[in-house]
Amino acid sequence: MMKKSSMLTVLTAMAFLTAACGGDEANDEAAQADNVNNELNEEDAEVTDLGADDAEVELSFWLFGATGYPELAEEYVEENPEVSITFQEIDMEDHHNNLFTALSAGSGAPDMAAIEVSEIDGYKNAEDRFVNLNDLGAEDVEDDFLDWAWEVGSSVDGDFQFGLPTDIGPTVMFYRADIFEEAGLPSDPEEVEDLLQTWEDFEEAADTVLEETGTPMTGNPETLFNAKRDQAPEHYFNEEDELILDSTPYVEEAFMDTSEMIEQGHVDNYGMWTPEWGGAMDDGGYATLLAPAWMQGVVKDNAPDQDNWRVASMPEGGGNWGGSYVTIPDQTEHPEEAFAFMEWLLAPEQQQKAFENMGLFPSTPEVYEMDTFTEYSDDYFGGQNTAEVFAEAALENEHVHKGAQYGDVNTEILDGLDNVYDGVEPEEEWEDVLTRVEQRISR
Amino acid sequence: MSNTLRKDMHTGTEKHSGESENNVKKPKKPKKRLFSQKQKDMASGYLFISPFYLLFAVFGVFPILFSFYLAFFRWDGLGEMEFVGLNNFNIIFNDPLFWKSLYNTIIIGLMGTAPQLIVALLLAFALNSVLIKYKSVFRLAVFLPYVTSIVAVAIIFSVIFSNQESGLVNSFLGLFGIDPITWTRSEWGAKVAISAMIFWRWVGYNTIIYLAGMQAIPNDLYEAAKIDGATLRQQIWHITIPMLKPFIIFTVFTATIGALQIFAEPHIFQGRGGRPEGISIVLYLYRDAFGSNFFGTASATAIVLFFIIIIFSAANLLLVNRIGRSGKVGEK
């Protein structure tokens, strides 16, 4: 048996060591946990070098997701032999963590970095960490892009341009033709669009669907609330970044409308991205999915043999969910060359190729006029020209200021809607949401 | 050790020779060197261990100290730091969610670890008994959950503890006429599911540690006890547990610290990065720092957690120290 004093020493050392190890583990877990959001996609960084080894200008470009940009850029380095480009592709969560760290530390950032649309407002207080693209001639290409998509990449006053828009996520209504038919409703996309012009129409159809088939209209409160909120002229913060949940009616209305549909049984509670939610796409757990264009890939993955999904415009107009921006961190030594490449990469011709290759929905409306779009048809959606439906939503959308703490507020509201689903009174829950939001963002 | 000895002998002779003045052939005086052998040995020793300490200084000590510093500032990670004194502590202490996360951490910690250590002890005892065949198979089977990734565990368990009526646990409960439980969002459902994950993943680890301890206990003690007519219960209580004391202390310590750092389970299981029913204190600070970019309040939370861990460890030490003593009293 050890002496007491020596045992104490050993234990203290042990406690310290385990605490230290524990810390590492927590980081590890965090990284792992974040990967889950990418459906357990634990691929390492993929690095692609393009161009000559002895090129005068060596550019680096960090991006995430499946963009196919390295393949596209081969043409560029062939035409511009003085430039070489190194692409680093990793999953979205790691990408943003790495970029944030490099910008915060003031070293290690690439010449070009993609930023996801939901993250970009978090960087807008840090103009000194980025190159103002307007200084490089961004204003000349502004007209190529959708107005609202451009404004998301600008400072509030529009003087500072953080990034050029890459792809976007115009939102539409995916619906199950078989469930609509079973309920005695029209199932052809054009007829469905005529039928579901407003949210009132949507609710009436939901009543019919529920009565006739027993199927809820939507899979979870989140998608329904997002769709309604995105049609509001103001969301959570005003342009001075003050919380306006209390002073404007729009978000509260969206919350109450969603709650009402929950209480009537039109909304199920499949958590987004859970296996059950994906499974229900296949076996008809819900009649509609209010979601962005890129969700078609998720639907096809989850229900590969299902041939009843169709696409129609969202009642009262679509919004935007997802997409990215390419920025130039101010640590770069080659801002002009980086911008020249970005300008080329995001020009309509290249965006058209990115759409054909990887399904990235273009932020340049010129592509919507091209044959790629007008003659598009998707067999999965019964041969429908889905691209035109998405394009229509993209053209209708308008810019709304979001703010750095947008995600925090959104989480609290969605948690609140789940609580309503569990039986809490909507009015009571809304008051609670306001308290929680206040607590969370004022620090 | 041997070097110092040699040096002592050396100086010894020197002293001796100094005393006798007649001795002409006195040994040469040691050459003046820049560094003595002892210093050189020390230097090489420090060099050998330096990689760890250098890395630890950069990736361990510095972040720890910086986090203490940050706790007094308001900082979003990109902009200017603003000194706010104790305001960060003021904010978190006035946040009901902070207290909720502390409460959750303690409750989930107790639910996840206390039964786990007891079950691990019994499992280890069973694995150690002579009655069981294919011991290595069982040992491996018991230990296997430990090597799985927490994330994978959390995902599998969210399917098992699904809110849907068709979820595995809910449909099992349905057989007994129990209504489906909203596992991810109900106060106790979330805690039970999260504790179950912790239990499942760690019970094997502790079993193996106890098993190692038990194998060090000489068999004659049990034989003697059996001859004296001790029951199984008495054997466990009066031989196994007192002899295992250092191992129990180790597992209680690691389990306590681990429990205070619960993070991935609620983060993944509850979706959207956690909810009030399951949020732990580490998840609370993680959300603050990496979700909202409030690094000041997150650092303040980390410091509070640091002191909580110290308090709990000290309390543990006092409590666990009694285990062996009561055993010995009974033995008399």
CA separation (Å) from A314 to A73, B21, B199? 35, 111, 46
**Residue A262: which CATH number?**
3.40.190.10
Of B261, B309, B317, Cβ closest to residue A26: B261
Q: Is residue B77 in a domain?
A: no
Residues of B in Cβ contact (< 8 Å) with A415 = 272, 275
Q: Are residues A289 and A419 located together in one domain of the fold?
A: yes
pLDDT at A10: 41
| Dist. CA B181–CA B196, nearest whole Å | 15
Statement to judge: residues A431 and A302 lie in one domain: yes
Residues A289 and A423 in one domain: yes
Alpha carbon of B32: minimum distance to chain A alpha carbons (Å): 40
Residues B149 and B177 both lie in one domain? yes
The verdict on a CB contact (< 8 Å) between B249 and A129 is: no
Q: Rounded to an integer, what distance in angstroms lies between the CA atom of residue A291 and that of residue A271?
A: 14
pLDDT bucket at A9, cuts 50 / 70 / 90: very low
Within this chain, do residues A52 and A123 fall inside the same structural domain, yes or no? yes
Q: Is residue A11 in a domain?
A: no
Give the chain A residue nearest B305 (alpha carbons). A19
In a shared domain, residues B107 and B226: yes
Partner residue opposite B97 with nearest CB, options A15, A405, A439: A439
Q: Which residue of B has its CA nearest to A271?
A: B271
In this complex, do B317 and A11 lie within 8 Å of one another by their Cβ atoms?
yes
Instruction: Please report residues of B whose CB lies closer than 8 A to that of A122.
Output: 293
The answer to whether residue A214 sits within a structural domain is yes
Residue A323 pLDDT exceeds 90: yes
User: Residues A310, A401: one domain?
Assistant: yes
User: Cβ contact (<8 Å) for B264 and A270?
Assistant: no
- Whether residue A29 and residue B150 make contact (CB cut-off 8 A), yes or no, is yes
CB–CB of B272 and A411 under 8 A? yes
Distance of residue B43 Cα from the nearest chain A Cα, in angstroms: 24
Is B79 domain-assigned? Answer: no
Give me the residue from B264, B291, B294 closest to A32, CB to CB: B264
Task: State the best of B89, B105, B292, B303 to mutate against chain A, taking most chain A CBs within 10 Å.
Answer: B292
Q: Do A405 and B257 touch (CB under 8 A)?
A: no
- Residue in B252, B245, B238, B240 with CA at minimum distance from that of residue B215: B240
Q: Which residues of chain A are within 8 Å of residue B258 when distances are taken between CB atoms?
A: 18, 22
Q: B304 to chain A, minimum CA–CA distance in Å?
A: 14
A364, pLDDT greater than 90: yes
Q: Is the pLDDT of residue A2 over 80?
A: no
Q: Tell me the C-alpha distance between A33 and B267, whole Å.
A: 7
Q: For A362-376, what is the mean pLDDT?
A: 94
The domain in which residue B49 lies consists of: 33-70
Residues B20 and B53 in one domain: no
**Whether residue B315 sits in one domain with residue B190:** yes
Are residues A340 and A233 both part of a single domain?
Answer: no
Sort out which chain A residues have CB atoms less than 8 A from B95's CB and list them: 439
**Closest approach of B143 to chain A, Cα-based (Å):** 19
Judgement on whether residues B17 and B43 belong to the same structural domain of the protein: no
- DSSP H helices, B129-186, are 135-143, 150-160, 168-175
* Residue numbers in B near A129 (CB within 8 A): 78
Q: Are residues A61 and A122 in the same domain?
A: yes
B232 and B178 share a domain? yes
Integer Cα distance of A409 and A234 in angstroms: 14
Rounded CA separation B112/B193 (Å): 10
Same domain, A214 and A137: no
A158 lies in the same domain as A186 = no
Tokens describing residue A191: 């007829």
Nearest to A33 among B182, B250, B268 (CB): B268
- Same domain? For B210 and B140 the reply is yes
pLDDT of residue A221: 96
Given an 8 Å threshold on Cβ–Cβ distance, is A125 in contact with B317?
no
pLDDT at position B26 is 54
Domain assignment present for A273 = yes
Instruction: Give chain A's domain count.
Output: 2
Q: Which domain holds residue A163?
A: 46-169+322-374
Q: Looking at the structure, do residues A370 and A312 belong to the same domain, yes or no?
A: no
For the segment A215-228, what is each residue's pLDDT rounded down to a tens digit?
999 999 999 999 99
Q: Do B135 and B187 belong to one domain?
A: yes
CB spacing of B95 vs A439 below 8 angstroms: yes
**Chain A partners of B257 at a C-beta cutoff of 8 Å?**
15, 18-19, 22
Do A197 and A137 have their domain in common?
no
- Count of CB atoms within 10 A of residue A387's CB? 23
Do B284 and B260 sit in the same domain of this protein? yes
Q: What is the pTM of this model?
A: 0.85
- Judge whether A192 lies within some domain: yes
Does residue B83 belong to any structural domain of this protein? Answer: no
Q: Hey, are the CB atoms on B257 and A8 less than 8 Å from each other?
A: no
User: Hey, what are A341's tokens?
Assistant: 């490449």
Nearest to B164 among A8, A276, A440 (CB): A276
Domains in chain B, number: 3
B55 and B167 inside one domain: no
Cβ <8 Å between A439 and B250: no
How many C-beta atoms lie closer than 10 Å to residue B32's C-beta?
Answer: 6
Indicate whether A19 belongs to any domain: no
Q: How many CB pairs under 8 A join A and B?
A: 115
* Residue A40: per-residue pLDDT: 41
Q: Which two tokens stand for residue B65?
A: 């100290």
3-class secondary structure, B128: helix
Query: Reduced to 3 states, what is the DSSP secondary structure of residue A169?
Result: strand
pLDDT beyond 70 at A28: no
Cα–Cα distance, A11 to B310 (Å, whole number): 12
| B78, part of any domain | no
Q: Of A194, A239, A229, A33, nearest to B274 (Cα)?
A: A33
The residue type found at A396 is E
In angstroms, what separates the C-alpha of B20 from chain A's closest C-alpha? 47
Give dist(CA A427, CA B2) in Å, integer: 81
Give me the pLDDT at residue B31, please: 60
> What is the overall mean pLDDT for chain A?
90
Q: Nearest by CB to A104, which of B60, B78, B254? A: B78
Q: Do B154 and A422 touch (CB under 8 A)?
A: no
Q: What are phi and psi of A122, to 5 degrees?
A: -65, -20
One domain, residues B202 and B255: yes
Contact: B293, A122; criterion CB under 8 Å: yes
Residue A33 is nearest to which of B96, B151, B253, comparing CB atoms? B151
DSSP H helical segments within chain B, as ranges?
A: 2-19, 37-56, 62-70, 87-93, 96-128, 135-143, 150-160, 168-175, 187-215, 219-227, 232-235, 241-243, 245-260, 264-269, 281-286, 295-331
- The CB-side HSE value for A287 (13 A sphere, CA atoms) comes to 28
Q: Is the residue at A41 inside a domain?
A: no
* Interface with chain A: mutation pick from B64, B66, B78, highest number of A CBs within 10 Å: B78
- For residue A102, the distance in angstroms to the closest alpha carbon of chain B comes to 10
Identify whether B84 is part of a domain: no
Using the beta-carbon criterion (under 8 Å), do B292 and A125 form an inter-chain contact? no
Q: Mean pLDDT lowest for which of A16-20, A311-315, B120-124? A: A16-20
Q: Which pLDDT band holds residue A187 (cuts at 50, 70, 90)?
A: very high
pLDDT band with cut points at 50, 70 and 90 for residue A53: confident
**B66 phi and psi, to 5 degrees?**
-65, -35
Structural contact between residues B320 and B238, judged by C-beta atoms closer than 8 angstroms: no
pLDDT band at A11 (very low <50, low <70, confident <90, very high): very low
Q: Which of B151, B254, B271 sits opposite A18 (nearest CB)?
A: B254
Per-residue pLDDT at A118 exceeds 50: yes
The alpha carbon of residue B148 is apart from the nearest alpha carbon of chain A, in Å, by 12
Average pLDDT of A189-212? 96
In a domain, B146, yes or no: yes
Cβ of B78 within 8 Å of Cβ of A103? The answer is yes
Question: Cβ(B222)–Cβ(B235) under 8 Å?
Answer: yes
* Number of neighbouring beta carbons within 10 Å of residue A282: 14
Q: Which residues of A touch B163 (CB under 8 A)?
A: 269, 271
> Does B264 contact A443 at a Cβ distance shorter than 8 Å?
no
CB contact (8 A) between residue B150 and residue A422: no
Say if residue A356 is in the same domain as residue A396. no
User: Is-contact A341 A60, C-beta < 8 A?
Assistant: no
Which residues have C-beta within 8 Å of that of residue A226, sequence separation ≥ 6? Answer: A171, A290, A319, A321
Tokens standing for residue B259: 């429990």
Q: Do A18 and B261 touch (CB under 8 A)?
A: no
* Contact: B163, A271; criterion CB under 8 Å: yes
Q: Identify the pLDDT of residue B25.
A: 54
Partner-chain contact B77 A100, CB within 8 Å: yes
Q: B151, B303, B309: which to substitute to probe chain A, counting the most A Cβ within 10 Å?
A: B151
How confident is chain B (332 residues) per 10-residue block, as mean pLDDT? 42 43 54 79 91 93 94 93 95 95 95 93 88 84 91 89 90 93 94 95 94 91 91 89 90 90 91 90 94 94 94 86 56 40
> Is residue A277 exposed (0-12), middle (13-18) or buried (19+ Cβ within 10 Å)?
buried
Contact residues on chain A for B60, CB-CB shorter than 8 A: 20
